A and B are shown apart, each in its own frame.
Chain A
Amino acid sequence: MSLAAVVQMLLSGLLMGLIYALVAAGLSLIFGLMDVVNFAHGELLMLAMYATFFLWRGTGIEPLLLVPVVAILLFGVGMVIYRTLIARALGVRANRGMVQIFITFGLAIFLQGAAQFAFGGDFRSIGHSLLANRTVAFAGVYLPLPQAAAGVVCLLAFAALLLIARTEFGRALEATREDREAVALLGIDRDRIFALGWGLGAASVGVAGAMLAGFYYTSPDVGANFALIAYVTVALGGFGSLAGALLAGVLIGEVEAVTAQLFDPSLKQVGVLGVYLLVLLVRPRGLFGTL
C-alpha cells in the first residue's frame, strides 16, 4: 500500500468518524442526563437528513446555510419528544426502564414508517450545491469537499457543546445529571432542564444529519446503521462523556476504514463490533467512562 493510499484511508476514516462522534454526542448527552437510551436516535438523524434535502429542494438554498435551520428544527423535535413521550414515561410507577425503552423503540418504528409513507422508499441526494461532488487533490490524496466540510462543522458543533457546558445552563445540566432531586430543592425545574437536554441532543444529531445529507443517500432506514454505531461509540467513549464520544467516534471511523481497506468493505461493521467487544472485555466503562 502506498503512503498516499494509507493517508487516504485514514482521512476518510477521520471524516466519517467525526460524523459518528457528533451523532454519539447527542445520544450520550441525553443518556448521561437522565439514563434514558434514545432508541429513536437514528431516526432523528434521518429526519434531519430529509429536512435538509426537502428544504434544499424546496428553496434552492445552499445546504451549508441550512445547517442552523435544521439544528433549530431538531432542537424543537427533541423538546417535543421529551414533553410528549419521555416525561410521561418518567412518571409511570412500574417498570419505568422498560417503558422508556419501548417508547423510544416504538417512536423509531413509527418515524421510519411515517417517512416511508410520506417520502417513499427512494434514495434522495443533494445533487448540486457549492460543494457537491467536488474534491481537491493533494499529493495523490483526494479530499472530498462535502465530507471535509462535514468534519469541520462537526468539530465546530463539539466546540459549541463544550462552550455550552461552561455556561450557567451547562452547569445546571451537569448538576441535574449528578443529582436530579437536589436540583429541584434549589428551585430548578428539572423537567425544563431535561427538555432542553433533549433539544440539545437532537440538535447535535441534526447538525450531523444536515452535513451527512450533502454526501450520503437519504432514505427512511438510513438511521439504523448510524444508530448502531452511535451506541457502540457511546459505550466505547464512556457514557455521558463528550470528549469520550469525540475520540471514540474518530476511532470507530478509523477502524471501519482500515477494515474496509484491508479486508472487504462489507466487513467494516465486523471490525467495529470486534473493537467494541474487546473494550467490553477489557474496560467495560469505556475509555473515558466514570460510571
Chain B
Amino acid sequence: MLQLEGVSAAYGGMAALHAMSLQVAKGEIIAVLGANGAGKSTLLKAIAGQVERRGAIRFDGADITRLPAHRIARLGINLVPEGRRLFPRLSVEANLRLGAYARRGEAGRFAPLDQVFALFPRLRERLAQRAETLSGGEQQMLAIGRGLMTQPRLLMLDEPSQGLMPKLVDDIFDAIRRIRDLGMTVLLVEQRLVEALAIADRAYVVQTGRIVLAGAASDIAADGAVRRAYLGM
C-alpha cells in the first residue's frame, strides 16, 4: 500500500532523514520505534507532505512525493500529529466535523461519526465542549477521531500514548487494534515499546535518521540483544 524508497527529508537544509526505505502492506499495523530525535516524527511528516523531502513515496502505486499535504490527505492518508494539534477554541463536534470538510458534497461524509463514538464513547458526552477543556486522554481520542472522520485508508499515529495515564494508554492501544480491525492500515510511532510491539505486525527501528533494523514485531520483542542495542530496554 505504501512504499518509501530512498526518502530523505530536511528542515531548512538540515538533513533529518537519510535514504529511508520501508513498506507497509494493507491491513498491517507497523510500529516505528527509536530514541528521541531519531527522526520518527519526521518520517511521518515526510509521508504526509509536511516537510521538504526527496526520494520516492508511493501510495497505492501513485507517486505522492511532490504533492502538497492536503492532496495527500485526500488520497486517504491521515496523520494524527505529535501533540494532537486540535483546534482548541472549537467544540469537540466542530473538530470532528472538520475531518469531513474536504468531502463537502459527498453523501454520508459524517457517517464515520458512529465509528468514532463506538471507539470513544466519551467524546459523545463532550460534543459541545471546547477541545481545550478536554483532559489529555480525551484530547488524544478526539485527535484520532478527527483523523478517522477523513475516512483514511492509512492512519499514521505519532506517539498517541504520550502523556497519558496507564489506564488510558491501554484504551488507546486497544482502540488502535480495533481501528485496524475496521479495515484500516496503521503506521504507529511509539515510545512505549512493549505495548507497540504487542499490537504491531512488523516494526522498524530508526536511529539518527536511518532505519537500522526491520522485522517481525514478535522477533524484535523476543530478541534481548536487539532490544538492548537499539531500544535501550
Give complex CA distance A271, B2 in Å: 64
Contact A184 B90 (CB under 8 A): no
Most A CB contacts (10 A, CB to CB) among B97, B101, B103, B147 go to: B101
Decide yes or no whether A58 CB sits under 8 A from chain B: no
Q: Nearest B residue to A176 by beta-carbon distance?
A: B87
Shortest A268–chain B CB gap in Å is 36
Contact B94 A171 (CB under 8 A): yes
Decide yes or no whether B73 CB sits under 8 A from chain A: yes
**A182 contacts which chain B residues (CB < 8 A)?**
81, 85-87
Contact A190 B70 (CB under 8 A): yes
What range describes how many residues of B lie at the interface? Answer: 20 to 34
Contact A171 B150 (CB under 8 A): no
Give complex CA distance A183, B48 in Å: 12
**A190 contacts which chain B residues (CB < 8 A)?**
70
C-beta contact mask, A157-191 vs B, less than 8 Å → 1, else 0?
Answer: 00000000000100110110011011111111110
**A186 contacts which chain B residues (CB < 8 A)?**
70, 73, 78, 98-99, 101-102, 146-147, 149-150
Q: How many A-B Cβ pairs are below 8 Å?
A: 77
- The main secondary structure of chain A at its interface with chain B is helix
Decide yes or no whether B43 CB sits under 8 A from chain A: no
Name the one of B69, B88, B89, B90 contacting A185, with C-beta atoms under 8 angstroms. Answer: B69
Give complex CA distance A76, B142 in Å: 37
Give complex CA distance A171, B131 in Å: 13
Give complex CA distance A188, B146 in Å: 13
Q: Nearest A residue to B76 by beta-carbon distance?
A: A187
Given known A168-B97, A171-B98, contact A189–B70 (CB-CB < 8 A): yes
Contact A187 B90 (CB under 8 A): no
**B36 contacts which chain A residues (CB < 8 A)?**
none
Q: Nearest A residue to B152 by beta-carbon distance?
A: A187
Residue pairs across A and B with Cβ atoms less than 8 A apart, 14 shown, are: A168-B97, A172-B101, A175-B87, A175-B95, A175-B98, A179-B85, A182-B87, A183-B98, A184-B49, A184-B69, A185-B147, A186-B99, A186-B147, A189-B70
Closest 3 CB pairs of A and B: A187-B102, A187-B73, A184-B69
